[in-house]
Amino acid sequence: LGIESVVEKRKIKDVLDKNGWSYRYSYNASRVYLEEVSKNSPSIKYFIDLHRDSVGKDKTTTIINGKNYARVMFLVGLEHENYQKNLELATRLDELIRQFDSTLSRGIYQKEGPGVNGIYNQDFNKNVLLIEVGGENNTISEVSNTLEILAMVISEYIKGEENYDL
pLDDT one-digit tens code per residue, 2-41: 888 889 999 999 999 999 999 999 999 999 999 999 999 9
Angle between helices 83-100 and 140-161 (to 10 degrees): 110
pLDDT tens for 46-73 read 999 999 999 999 999 999 999 999 999 9
CB 40 within 8 A of CB 34: no
Task: Give the pLDDT mean for 104-123.
Answer: 94
Between the CA of residue 12 and those of 76, 93, 101, what are the distances in Å? 21, 27, 34
Which amino acid is residue 144, in one-letter code? Answer: S
| Res 166: pLDDT | 36
**Average of per-residue pLDDT across 126-151:** 97
Which amino acid makes up residue 5?
S
DSSP 46: -
pLDDT attached to residue 159: 86
pLDDT band per the 50, 70, 90 thresholds, residue 101: very high
Give the span between the Cα atoms of 157 and 154, in whole angstroms.
Answer: 5
Query: What pTM was estimated for this model as a whole?
Result: 0.91
